[in-house]
Structure 1
C-alpha cells in the first residue's frame, strides 16, 4: 500500500490471489470511498493527530497511526465484513488540537446521520473527546450513553490544556454541565500508571473499573463480563474506545507507554465481545498506535485485528 502525501487520500492496495479459486477478496478490494450517498456499513475515519500526546509529555508519532492501521488492514481477508467505507483522515494543523477534535466530531456525526457505524483510527487518545462529541451531536435523544474504555490509564487528568490524558475528565465535566449521567467503565487499569489523585478522582466520579491484574485468568474475565452486563442493560447506547496500551508490551510495543502487564489479547477479545453483542454500540475508536515505536508492525497488526473483529461482529447488527 502506498503511504499518502500530506493531505492526500490513502490508496488501498494489497495482494490479489489471481490464480486461486473461490472467494479471495481482501480488505483493499472491499473498501469503498465514503460519499454523500453512502449508507450503512462501517466507515473508517482516521484521526491523524498526536498533539494531545505531545501536550501530555508522551512520545509523539501517533499521527501516523491511521495510515499504519489501514496498511495492516489492507491484506486481511474479507470473512463476513459488512460494507466498508473509508472516510479519510482528520488532521491536526500545527498545534490546533481543539479544531481537529471539532472537525472529527462533525465527521462522526455525519457518518452516524447516514446510518453507518464510525470506526475511528487514531491518533492519540485525545481522539475520545472528538468521537464523544460526534455521538452527542448525532444521538441527542439517547440520554444514557455508556463509555467502555479498554485502557491502562483513567485519562481523567486535570491540565491547563486538553491532552491525551484528559478526555474523560472533559466528558465528565460536559455531562455535569448538561445534567446527564457520566457512565464510564474502564478495564485494564494499571496501579503503576495512575497516581492516587487519579484513583481518588475516579472514585469521586463513580467510575467503574477493573485492574489489569484482575484480568489475567478465565475466571477473572467471566467476573468482569458479568459485571459489565448490568451497565449494558441500563444504558441506551455505548461508545467503545480502545487504547492499545491496555495490551501487554509484547503484543503492543508501538505505543507511547507500553504496558508491563496489560490485558492479554485472548482475554481482551471476549470482554470486547460482551460489549459489541449488546447491540447498543454506536461508535468505536482505536487509539495510541505509534508506528515509529512499533516492532515489525506488531502493534499495527494487533490494532487491525481488533478493527476487523469489530466490523465482523457488527455485521449482523447493521445494514
Structure 2
C-alpha cells in the first residue's frame, strides 16, 4: 500500500443508543496502540483528538420526534462532517473512531462531498436502515445508513448538505444477521447489495470481497468502509453493545481488510461500537486496531 497521511478523529458518542460505555471506545483504541501500529506501516499520522459531546443532552429531544437525543446527535454529526471534509481537502485519509454507529452520518456526509459516486462497504451485524417510522427503539445508531441514503428524518438526511450522500446501488452490506422488518423492506425496495452471514458461510469471505469490489469498482470514485465491531462474532469481539452470535470470525475480518487494502480503493474508514465496559481486557479494541492495521497495509511478510 502507498504511504498515506492518516488523520484520526475520535467521536466519544453514546447518545445514539442506550448502553453507556461506548463513549470510551476511542480511548480504548488509542490505548490499544492504534497510532503506533499505523506509524509502523510508514504512514504519517495526525491525531486530531476527540470531538466534544454534550452528555447533558441525553434526554428527550426538543423536536417533535421519537428519535432519542436528536439535537445533540445532529450537532455532533454536523461537526464531524465539517472535520472529515477538511481532512479530505488536505489530502489525508480520515480514520474515525467511535462511539456508536450514529456517527457514520457525519463521516459519510463529510467524505461524500468530495466524490461524485462514493461507494460504501458496511460491515455490521445490523442493517442500520431504520427510520423514525420503523425503529422499535428510536435509537439513531440503528439509522445511519438509511439517513445517508436520504431516507428518514430530514435533520439527519439533509445534514451538511441537502441531498442523499450515497446511492443505494453504490452500497454493499456484509455480515448481517439481525434485521428488522422495515429494514428488510428497504433493502428490497432499494435493491441494496447484501451479503448476510448465510452468503459468507456458503461462498467464503474471499468470494464476497471479490464480488463486492467488482460490483463497486466500475461505478464509484472512492469507497468508504464503515465497520461495526458487532459485525464480528462475540467470541472475538465481546465488547459491543448489541452482540449477535454467528458473526464474522477474526481471521475472516483480517482477510477482508487485507483484500480491501490491496485494491487501494478505500478512501476513508470508521471503526465503531467498541464498549470497554462490556469488554474482556480491552480485547475488542485490540481487535479493532489489528483490523485497522490490516486495512492500512499490515502484512506478516
TM-score by length of 2: 0.81
What do the CA deviations read for 1:50-102 (whole angstroms, capped 9, x no partner)?
Answer: 10023xxxx22111100000000166585423111101111321331111111
1:309 corresponds to which residue?
294
SS of structure 2 residue aligned to 1:51:
coil
Separation in 2 of the partners of 1:98 and 1:236? 27
1:121 CA drift (Å): 0.4
2:217 counterpart of 1:232 = yes
Q: Which moved more, 1:89-98 or 1:113-122?
A: 89-98
2:128 counterpart of 1:155 = yes
2:62 corresponds to which residue?
none
Could you tell me which of 138, 141, 147 is aligned with 1:164? 141
1:145 corresponds to which residue?
118
Q: CA 1:170–1:119 in 2, change beyond 3 Å: closer, same or farther?
A: same
2:32 counterpart of 1:90 = no
Gap regions ≥5 residues in structure 1: 1-39, 315-319
Separation in 1 of the partners of 2:281 and 2:206? 33
Q: Is the 8 A contact 1:241 1:285 kept in 2?
A: yes
Could you tell me which of 67, 71, 81 is aligned with 1:105? 81
1:41 CA drift (Å): 1.0
Q: CA 1:180–1:82 in 2, change beyond 3 Å: closer, same or farther?
A: closer
Gap regions ≥5 residues in structure 2: 58-71, 151-156
SS of structure 1 residue aligned to 2:49:
strand
Separation in 1 of the partners of 2:25 and 2:117? 31
Separation in 1 of the partners of 2:91 and 2:39? 22
TM alignment of 1:69-88, pairs within 5 A: 69-73=29-33, 76=37, 79-88=40-49
Q: Which moved more, 1:221-230 or 1:177-186?
A: 177-186
CA RMSD of aligned residues (A): 2.4
Could you tell me which of 168, 191, 201 is aligned with 2:186? 201
TM alignment of 1:150-299, pairs within 5 A: 150-159=123-132, 163-173=140-150, 174=157, 177=163, 181-182=167-168, 183-190=170-177, 193-216=178-201, 219-228=203-212, 229-299=214-284
1:195 CA drift (Å): 2.2
1:108 CA drift (Å): 0.6
SS of structure 2 residue aligned to 1:204:
helix
What do the CA deviations read for 1:196-250 (whole angstroms, capped 9, x no partner)?
Answer: 3211211111211111233247x52232123212222321111111000011111
2:19 counterpart of 1:67 = no
Q: Is the 8 A contact 1:125 1:165 kept in 2?
A: yes
